[in-house]
Amino acid sequence: MEWNPETLQKLSQCFLHTLSPVPEPRRAAERYLSEAADLPNYGLAVLRLVAEPSVEEQTRHAAAVNFKNHLRSRWLPSADSEIKPIIPSEKEQIKTLIVSLMLSSSPRIQSQLSEALAVIGKHDFPRNWPALLPELVSSLQKAALAGDYASVNGILGTANSIFKNFRHQFRTDDLFLDIKYCLEIFAPPLQDIFIKTDSLIDSAVSSSGGLAANLKPLFESQKLCCRVFLSLNFQDLPEFFEDNMEKWMTVFKKCLSSNYPALESTAEGLALVDDLRSAVCENINLYMEKYEEEFRVYLEGFASAVWTLLRDVSKSPSRDQLATTAIKFLTTVSTSAHHALFAGENVIKEICQSIVIPNVSLREEDEELFDMNYIEFIRRDMEGSDVDTRRRIACELLKGLAANYKGQVTEAVSHEIQKLLASFSTNPAVQWKDKDCAIYLVVSLATKKAGGASVSTDLIDVQSFFANIILPELQSHDVNSFPMLKAGSLKFLTMFRSHLPKPFAMQLFPELVRFLKAESNVVHSYAASCIEKLLLVKDEGGRSRYVAGDISPFLLPLMTNLFDALRFPESEENQYIMKCIMRVLGVAEISGEVAGPCIGGLTAVLSEVCRNPKNPTFNHYIFESVAVLVRRACERDISLLPAFETSLFPSLQMILNNLIEEFLPYAFQLLAQLVELNRPPLSPSYMQIFLGLLSPDMWNKSGYVPALVRLLQAVLQKAPHEVTQENRLSQVLGIFDKLIAVPSTDEQGFYVLNTVIEYLDFGAIAPYMTGVWNALFTRLQKKKTVKVQKSLVVFMSLFLVKHGHANLVDTMNAVQPNIFPTIVQQFWIPNLKLIMGSIEVKLTAVAATRLICETPALLDPAASKIWGAMLDSIVTLVSRPEQERAIEEPDMPDFLENVGYTAAFVSLHNAGRREADPLPDIRDPKQFVVACLARLSAASPGRYPQIIGENLEKANQAALLQLCSAYNSTIV
C-alpha cells in the first residue's frame, strides 16, 4: 500500500465510517480495511495516518486502535495460520517511527501506540530491537529536563508494558541476560527521574500545599516508576537496587507516611495517591517475600507506617486496592522470621479491633453486589475468586498470625465474635450485620484437614454454635427475610457438613428444600450447593453417608423446587441449581414417576439454552444431568428408554441441524449412550445420524473427534451388519485413515479400528486389511511415538484373539512378504512390556502367549531367539508393577495443529463408555501364560527350558519359576 494523498483520504474516510451507527457504511469500511490489511505496508500507512495532524482526532484514534490490533495478529502469526505477516522491511520502518510518534501524540492516542509498542516488544525486545531502550532513555532524559511529564509518563508507561513481561517468565539464562541488559541501560535514569520527581513533589507541597493539577502528573510518574521497579526486581535482587536501596526505601516510606491534602480532598486525587501507595506496598511485599535479609533493616518502620495507614483507610470501595495490598504486606511479615513484631502485649487484639473487624464487616457495596450480581458475590464469597476482597484478605492476616500465635489469635477472635453476637442480640433487626460478621469469621478461619473435605475450628464449639446461632436462621418461616444472614447460615452448614450427625441433618433436609424457594439468587444457590455437598459426604471407609433411601421422602418436592428455582429472574442458567439436580439424580432411585417430570424439565431448559448458549458450566451440568438420569433410570427399568428418546430427540436434532458448536460434542455422547442402551436393530433415526457421521467434513474439527468416535463405536457395536452394507465400512475406515495420520487424533483412530476388529466378522474386514496395515506402517514411518507403538500392540493383540493368528500373519505379509517377524521384533516385543491397565494387560499377555504357542512362524526352531525375546516381554508384563515398567512419554502434543477456535471436547462422566473385556472367560492372565507354556513344553520336552535360559533376563527367569510354582505348572 503506497503512502500518497489518495491513500490518506481513503483510509481517513474508512476509519471515520467504522464509527458510524449506520450498519451499511460501517460494514463496507470494515470489509475494505480487512482486505487492505493483507497488503504490504498497510500497517505503516495506518501509522502515518495516526501521525497526520490534519486528520480529526477521533479518526486518528480509531486508526491507532486498528494499528494496535493489526500488530497483535500479524507481527508474528502462528506458523499454520493463513494470516499474512507484516513484511520485514515494514517492521523496521514501524520500529523506527513508533517511539517519536507515540511521544508527540495526544494522551488517548499515546496509550494505544504504547500498547502497540509493547506488542512489538513482546516479540522483538531486546534481541531484535536493540535501538528501543537507548531511544526511550534519551527521550526520557530530554522530557525530564524540559519538565514535560506528559512525555515522561508516556515513556514510563511503555517501559512498564515491556518490562512486566519479565515478572512471570521461567528463570533461564536468556531471561537474566535480558534483564541485565535492561538494568544497565534503564535503571540509572529510572532512579534519577524517581528521585527528581520526589523532590518536585516536596517542593510543590511545601509551597502552600501544592496545586492538584501540578501534583497529578508527578504522582502518576512515581506510580509508574514503582511498577517498573517491581518488574526489574521480580526475578532476583539486582546489584544496582541493592546498592541504592536506601534511596528507594526512603521515598517509599515517605509515600506511605505523608499526607497530600491538595490531592486527597477529591475522589480522583485520593485514588491517584492510593494507587501510588498500593504500588509501594506491592514493592515492599516483594522485598519481604524474596529479599527478607536485605530488607530487614527497613521492616519495622514500614510495618508501623502500613499499620498507621490502615487505621485511616475508609471502607470506601475506591480504597479497596490499597487496603488489600497493605494487609497483604502485614500478612507476609506475620509468617516470616520477623513475626515477633506482632508479639507485643495486646498487638493482636489491636489488629483484630482496628484492622480485621472493620474490613470484615459488611458494607453497602457488599449488599449491593449480593442483590445485583449474585454470580460475582458467590464467586468472591464461596468459591474464592482471584479478586482479593477486604473480607478475605483480613482473614488471611489472621491465619498468618495464627501460624505463630494461635492461642492469642483464637482468644482475640473468639472475644470479638462474642461481642458481635451480644450486639446482635440487643436488636436483631438492626444489628444483623454483626451476626453476619461473626458467622463469616468462623467460616473463613476454619481449618481444612489435609486430604479431605472436613474442617475444624478452635473459635467455637460447632454443635453449640450451630444450635444457638445457625439453626434459628434455617428454621425461620420466612425464607426471604434477612437474606444475607440466611446465606451465611447455609454457607456455615455447607462448611461444617461432616460435623452434623446424620439424623440431625435429615431433620434439616426439608428446610434446605424450602430455601430453594427463596427469592434471593444467592440464598437459593447456597441451598442447592449445600444439598449437593451434603450428598457427597463420606464416612470412614469411603461409604456415602446419604443414600437413595435417605432422600426418597423428599425427592419429588426437592426436584420440583429445583426446577422452579430455574424460573427465578437471573437464575435461568444457575449452575449451582443444575449441579444439584445432577447430584440428586446420581444418588436417588429414579422411578418412572420421577423420571418423567425430570426429563421434561431438563429438555425444556436444554431447548432454551440452545437458542443462545452462554454459561459453559451450566450447560455441562445440563448434559451430565440428562446422562445420569438416562443411565440410572434405565438401569432400573429399560422400558423407560423410548420415552427418553421421544423427549430428547427434538433437542438433539436441533443441535445437529443447527450445528450448535458448543453442544455438538455433548449431543454425540448422549446419542452414543442411547445407542448402547438399545437392542438391535437400531431405529432409522439412529441410522440416519450414523450416515451423517460418515461425512469427512464432520471430522475436521478436533474438538468433535472424541465424541464422534464414541458415537461411531456405539453404532459399530450395535449395528455391525448395517455398517458392512453399501460401502459404509470403506467410509468408516476412511475416517480411521484420517485420524491415524495426525498425532493429536491418532489414538482416536485406534479406537475406531479396534471397534471394527472387535465387532465385525473377518469376512467383512478382510478386503480392507491391506489398506489398514499400509496406513499403520506409514504412520510408524512418519512419527514413531511410544503412544502409537503401544496402541499398535493392543490392536494386533485384539486382532489375534478375535480372528486368529493365521489371519493376522497372512494379512500383514500380504502388504510385504515376510514382514510379520520384523514387526514382532521391532514393535511388538519392545513395546509389550509398556502396556498399562488391567484389561489391556490381560489382552496383550494372552495374545502374545497364543502367538508364541500357536503360530508356526514362531514355533520354528529358527525363530527361537524371537520366541525367547517375546516370552521375556510377557513375563515382564505380568510380573512387574506398572511403575517399574512405565517410561516417560517423550512426545509433546502438537499444539499448533489446533490453533484457533475449536469446540472443546468435555467428557460426560455419566455417559462414559464402559470398557468391554474382549476376554471375559479368562480371569487370570498369569495362569493362562504358564498353563499354555506347560502344554507347549510337554509336546517337546527339553526344548524350551534351554531357550528360556538363553533369552530371558535372570530376574524374569526367576519370576517365571515363581509363576509356575504358584499355579502348579511345569515347563519341561
User: Which of 180-184, 481-485, 592-596 has the lowest average pLDDT?
Assistant: 592-596
Q: What integer is the mean pLDDT of 923-930?
A: 95
CA distance 721 to 675: 15
pLDDT value for 783:
81
Q: What integer is the mean pLDDT of 353-368?
A: 92
CA distance 324 to 775: 60
448 DSSP β-pair partners? 455
CA distance 318 to 394: 17
Triad 726, 677, 798: Cα angle to 5°: 65
Residue 899 above 60 pLDDT?
no
The pTM of this model reads 0.82
| Residue 895 pLDDT class (50, 70, 90 cuts) | very low
Determine the straight-line distance between the first and last CA of the chain, rounded to whole angstroms. 86
pLDDT value for 893:
34
User: Which of 386-390, 473-477, 507-511, 558-562 has the lowest average pLDDT?
Assistant: 386-390
| Residue 384 pLDDT class (50, 70, 90 cuts) | low
DSSP label of 538: B
- Tell me the per-residue pLDDT of 936-961, one tens digit each, with 9 for 90 and over: 999 999 899 999 999 999 999 999 99
Residue 466 above 60 pLDDT?
yes
Q: What integer is the mean pLDDT of 727-734?
A: 95
| Residue 1 pLDDT class (50, 70, 90 cuts) | confident
Q: What integer is the mean pLDDT of 95-118?
A: 92
Residue 902 above 70 pLDDT?
no
CA distance 529 to 576: 6
E strands within 748-805? none
Tell me if 471 sits within 8 A of 457, measured CB to CB: no
* CB burial string 652-672: b at 16+ within 10 A, e below: bebbbeeebbbbbbbbbbbbb
- Tell me the per-residue pLDDT of 782-823, one tens digit each, with 9 for 90 and over: 888 899 999 999 999 999 999 999 999 999 999 999 999 999
Q: What integer is the mean pLDDT of 756-773?
A: 96
Q: What integer is the mean pLDDT of 494-502?
A: 92
CA distance 27 to 361: 51
Q: What integer is the mean pLDDT of 13-32?
A: 93
Residue 81 above 80 pLDDT?
no
- Tell me the per-residue pLDDT of 732-757, one tens digit each, with 9 for 90 and over: 999 999 999 988 899 999 999 999 99
CA distance 419 to 429: 17
Q: What integer is the mean pLDDT of 71-78?
A: 91
Q: What is the DSSP string of 814-860?
A: HHSTT-HHHHIIIIIHHHHTT--SHHHHHHHHHHHHHHHHH-HHHHS
- Tell me the per-residue pLDDT of 659-671, one tens digit each, with 9 for 90 and over: 898 999 999 999 9
pLDDT value for 337:
93
- Tell me the per-residue pLDDT of 674-725, one tens digit each, with 9 for 90 and over: 999 999 899 999 999 999 999 988 898 888 999 999 999 999 999 999 999 9
Residue type, 237: L
pLDDT value for 345:
84
pLDDT value for 701:
86
pLDDT value for 909:
86
pLDDT value for 901:
29
List the one residue out of 395, 412, 308, 393 whose CA is nearest residue 353. Answer: 412
pLDDT value for 588:
95
